[in-house]
């Protein structure tokens, strides 16, 4: 099994798939799966652009809309998590994951799926301490505050992932786990990104919940993005277990943004995407902990007078299997829930949320709640119909009042990387801390190849973070090798032994 891992996609799906096709032709291989580590930007139309936390001048439609509309089909199964620059109104339709386009699957706020015998987990968003303990109170139309807080990870998502006992093979996050730089070539990183030194030395770089999950789940591989640079680390746990960590760059010319991982054949299985039984059982077990309050909500732990260990029992997993005997996540379940892109359409703010049948189906099967439906029903607002006919506007229907064990009030809105001269052929690149020296895990990292139609890259991604009040690191004011945006761009693929 060969897996391609992408850093920050920033909506450049055409470029990413072109890079994969180039690698397949040069290496005479077949990529089975593409994984993206956030900032995917699944923007369907101009309305979605207003739900993305970037200044208006950087709200570009990019290329995802072609795959949503059916103009193009993703050539390889693609799985992604959310970052801090997403069409949040669309992703909120799928809190537990689902297809955002044919052959392109979102893992949800947190989630675990199986591809063949490979178990993949993910945590969407970035960490911000002031929102971490809050409930899931946001929904569109967003305020300036909720437009950003909606992509901040919450303790419930981390709590659910920490209940897992079965082995996670691949874990995804957008931001890095805190302390990960202690397990790699820190000085090499700081030579390239000297402005990170203060945060690295003070222990503020990265996500504390991510650090907790790293040492709790002990996955074989952990991939991340966010800081727009490549960094490898090897974390050793107890009982000789290891986690191979790799952060990747963003999809731009001459950036190390794509890596190919060759997995042992034991993970192949049927190479079908399936729900994970243990994860579904955790969702059922913890449904009563869901909160839509915009206040801190504390979760049960040792010493409390209620259950706090929600690791599923064999009986609880059997119950899930009886409810969902077919765990295959069929591509046919994708349904358009918004009009396709029309260049002439205005960039209007997102309206009330749309019911997504994928979420409704899963919630009904498992007997769990959709956070947005709970918010809408309890505030007396309406949700729009998900059925799109002839790309017309969705009809408005009344949100059904759901039976729920929770008693929740309506929510209240609170007042660069070193440039390198690369040849056409692959060359060896072996940093001191490369942890894939064995022959069973060969990798390739890729820089965007030249397109059939030359495209001049704008500095959209270079400046996208600087006006954002949530960005933890101003990584674009101090790039190592600026790119001349007035010159034509080209790039080449590059062989590496580093993961």
Per-residue pLDDT reduced to its tens digit, 116-149? 999 999 999 999 999 999 999 999 999 999 999 9
Question: Which residues, other chains included, contact 335 with Cβ-Cβ below 8 Å and sequence gap of 6+?
Answer: 356, 357, 358, 386, 387
Least confident of 183-187, 231-235, 444-448: 444-448
Least confident of 191-195, 354-358, 385-389: 385-389
Going by pLDDT thresholds of 50, 70 and 90, the confidence category of residue 381 is confident
Asked whether the predicted pLDDT for residue 463 surpasses 70, the reply is no
Q: Do 220 and 170 form a contact (C-beta atoms < 8 A)?
A: yes
Strand duo 2-6 + 258-262: pairing = antiparallel
Neighbours of 332 (CB within 10 A): 7
Q: What is the mean pLDDT of residues 445-462?
A: 46
Provide the pLDDT for residue 455. Answer: 44
pTM value is 0.81
Going by pLDDT thresholds of 50, 70 and 90, the confidence category of residue 93 is very high
Helix (H) or strand (E) holding 171: strand 170-173
Distance CA 113, CA 106 (A): 10
Q: Do 376 and 353 form a contact (C-beta atoms < 8 A)?
A: yes
Provide the pLDDT for residue 397. Answer: 42
Asked whether the predicted pLDDT for residue 458 surpasses 60, the reply is no
Provide the pLDDT for residue 488. Answer: 36
Strand duo 443-446 + 258-262: pairing = antiparallel
Helix (H) or strand (E) holding 209: helix 208-217
Provide the pLDDT for residue 57. Answer: 86
Structural domains in the chain plus CATH codes: 2-273+418-495 (3.60.21.10)
pLDDT (tens digit per residue) in 51-63 = 999 988 889 999 9
Provide the pLDDT for residue 252. Answer: 85
Asked whether the predicted pLDDT for residue 461 surpasses 50, the reply is no
| Token couple for 245 | 């960590």
Mean pLDDT computed over every residue of the chain? 83
Going by pLDDT thresholds of 50, 70 and 90, the confidence category of residue 171 is very high
Distance CA 166, CA 171 (A): 13
| Token couple for 424 | 């056409």
Distance CA 436, CA 176 (A): 20
Going by pLDDT thresholds of 50, 70 and 90, the confidence category of residue 382 is confident
Highest mean pLDDT among 100-114, 454-468, 476-490: 100-114
- Pick from 194, 192, 196, 184: nearest CA to 431: 184
Question: Which residues, other chains included, contact 311 with Cβ-Cβ below 8 Å and sequence gap of 6+?
Answer: 163, 164, 165, 282
Asked whether the predicted pLDDT for residue 295 surpasses 80, the reply is yes
Going by pLDDT thresholds of 50, 70 and 90, the confidence category of residue 24 is very high
Least confident of 36-50, 75-89, 383-397, 474-488: 474-488
């Amino acid at each position: 099994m060969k897996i391609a891992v992408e850093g920050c996609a920033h909506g450049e799906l055409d470029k990413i798939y072109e890079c994969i096709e180039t690698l397949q032709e040069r290496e005479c291989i077949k990529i089975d799966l593409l994984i993206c580590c956030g900032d995917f930007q699944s923007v369907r139309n101009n309305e979605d652009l207003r739900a993305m936390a970037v200044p208006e001048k950087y709200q570009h439609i990019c290329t995802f809309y072609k795959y949503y509309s059916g103009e193009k089909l993703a050539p390889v199964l693609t799985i992604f998590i959310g970052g801090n620059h997403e069409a949040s109104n669309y992703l909120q339709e799928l809190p537990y994951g689902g297809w955002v386009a044919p052959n392109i699957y979102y893992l949800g706020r947190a989630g675990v799926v199986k591809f063949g015998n490979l178990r993949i987990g993910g945590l969407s968003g970035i960490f911000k301490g002031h929102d971490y303990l809050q409930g899931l109170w946001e929904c569109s139309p967003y305020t300036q505050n909720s437009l950003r807080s909606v992509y901040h990870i919450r303790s419930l998502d981390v709590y659910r992932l920490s209940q897992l006992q079965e082995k996670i093979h691949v874990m995804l996050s957008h931001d890095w786990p805190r302390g990960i730089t202690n397990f790699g070539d820190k000085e090499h990183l700081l030579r390239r990104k000297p402005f990170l030194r203060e945060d690295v030395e003070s222990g503020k770089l990265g996500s504390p919940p991510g650090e907790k999950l790293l040492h709790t789940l002990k996955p074989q591989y952990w991939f991340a993005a966010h800081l727009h640079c490549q960094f490898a680390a090897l974390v050793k746990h107890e009982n000789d277990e290891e986690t191979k960590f790799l952060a990747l760059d963003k999809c731009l010319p001459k950036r190390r943004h794509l890596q190919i991982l060759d997995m042992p054949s034991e993970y192949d299985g049927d190479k079908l995407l399936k729900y994970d039984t243990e994860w579904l059982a955790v969702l059922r077990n913890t449904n009563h902990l869901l909160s839509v309050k915009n206040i801190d909500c504390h979760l049960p732990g040792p010493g409390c007078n209620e259950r706090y260990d929600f690791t599923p029992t064999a009986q609880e997993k059997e119950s899930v299997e009886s409810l969902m005997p077919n765990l295959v996540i069929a591509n046919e379940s994708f349904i358009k829930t918004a009009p396709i892109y029309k260049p002439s359409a205005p960039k209007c703010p997102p309206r009330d949320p749309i019911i997504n049948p994928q979420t409704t189906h899963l919630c009904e099967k498992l007997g769990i709640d959709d956070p947005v439906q709970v918010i809408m029903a309890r505030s007396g607002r309406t949700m729009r119909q998900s059925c799109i006919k002839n790309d017309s506007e969705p009809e408005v229907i009344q949100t059904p009042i759901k039976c729920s064990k929770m008693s929740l009030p309506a929510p209240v809105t609170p007042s660069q990387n070193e440039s390198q001269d690369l040849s056409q052929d692959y060359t060896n690149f072996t940093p001191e801390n490369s942890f894939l020296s064995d022959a069973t895990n060969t990798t390739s990292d890729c820089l965007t190849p030249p397109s059939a139609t030359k495209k001049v890259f704008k500095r959209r991604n270079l400046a996208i973070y600087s006006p954002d009040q949530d960005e933890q690191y101003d990584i674009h004011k101090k790039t190592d090798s600026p790119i001349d945006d007035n010159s034509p761009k080209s790039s080449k693929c590059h062989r590496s032994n580093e993961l």
